[in-house]
Amino acid sequence: MLGNFSYCNPTRLYFGKDALEGLNKELPKYGKNVVLIYGGGSIKKNGIYDKVTEILKANGKTVTEDGGVMPNPTVEKLYEGCEIAKKAKADLLLAVGGGSVCDYAKAVSVSTYCKEDPWEKYYMRFEDVDNEIIPVGCVLTMVGTGSEMNGGSVITNYEKKLKIGHVFGDNVFPKFSVLNPEYTFTLPKYQMVAGFYDIMSHILEQYFSGTDDNTSDYIMEGLMKSLIHSSLIAVENPKDYEARSNIMWTATWALNTLVAMGKTTDWEVHMLGQAVGAHTNATHGMTLAAVSTAYYNFIMPYGLAKFKRFAVNVWNVNPDGKSDEETAKEGIEEMRKWMKKLGLVMTLSELGVKEDMIEGIADSTLVMEGGYKILTREEISDILKKSL
């Protein structure tokens, strides 16, 4: 049964082909100084940069740029961003890009006026924010992370071989986010499908926990079916607006905290994937894909009823004449087939992981306690080896 919980999501969304007009409604709410945050410069090639800066100028904003945010934002970049925001006396951080840019903006928002090292405070000790927070707004150009409507922020420390996420409270959520599916059309296929699997993984991390009859599970089954359907269309035609808009909306609902209500949630696949990312700098969604099937085959016996339900309700596996375990395994196999159709990375070796790296990655993997099995160090190592 559902336990007690408190739910709030303060992010206002503007969705659709005219979503960018939402900036004209939001910008007057904030002071004059805006830090424009973006990644490697693709927004300058596809015209989004010009559209955003034109609106900022029309609203009388003084703009300071913080570009070059990498796909796995580093702690060094975070420190740099804090200095930029402080010097600019930022009233708003406007992130234009994918999940990494949004994640980074939230990290800068809580870290700029932090009185100690934000890496230690937020990413090692997971403490709450007790200092001034700079508001964040997002213009999304890639879907997958759900960062546009949550408090999550993942930062990588390559020196320590750690990639860690902090889920901040709703006071750190973006104040608004602009979601135009057309802005995702120019994304290279590799990044596009990596984002698709990130969405699926977010849902699975929450779905594979608990044994009660929970409304969230029914919602998640619908989200997964929608994603599976639309992703296969988008791979064939990346400019199919209906498919891309459905995927964008699914990505937001997959991780805007709603379906986590009443769930313990797992997140071990993300811990494994993030550890791989800390050692390889590989694309996040691909690290998740590479470890997922080995992980789910391993924990399936501990949550057999839910894995059987997953097979039947999401993948339309016929359970007649089969044991629960046979049905559950068939569900995981159907997911694997879908992943291959999308062109996802299926093994760690494809990401450059060698056998002699496994123990180091295992050492970097955080152990979570909300899923069907709390992994031992040996089990983590074994799952990684099976993912090679």
Compute the distance between CA of residue 91 and CA of residue 141 in angstroms, rounded to an integer: 23
pLDDT of residue 1: 61
Compute the distance between CA of residue 123 and CA of residue 160 in angstroms, rounded to an integer: 12
pLDDT of residue 4: 84
pLDDT of residue 3: 73
Domains and CATH numbers, the chain: 12-183 (3.40.50.1970), 189-387 (1.20.1090.10)
pLDDT of residue 49: 96
pLDDT digits (tens, 9 = 90+) for 189-200: 999 999 999 999
Residue 128 structure tokens: 């709450």
CB count within 10 Å of CB 374 equals 12
The separation between the first and the last C-alpha atoms of the chain, rounded to the nearest angstrom, is 39
pLDDT of residue 41: 84
User: Is the Cα torsion angle 311, 342, 181, 58 positive or negative in sign?
Assistant: positive
User: Is the Cα torsion angle 52, 53, 57, 58 positive or negative in sign?
Assistant: negative
Low-confidence ranges of the chain (pLDDT < 70): 1-2
CB 178 within 8 A of CB 52: no
Task: Annotate 136-165 with b (16+ C-beta within 10 A) or e (fewer).
Answer: bbbbbbbbbbbbbbbbbbbbbbeeeebbbb
Please indicate, yes or no, whether the overall pTM of this predicted structure exceeds 0.85: yes
Output the CA torsion 6→12→15→20 (10° steps): -160
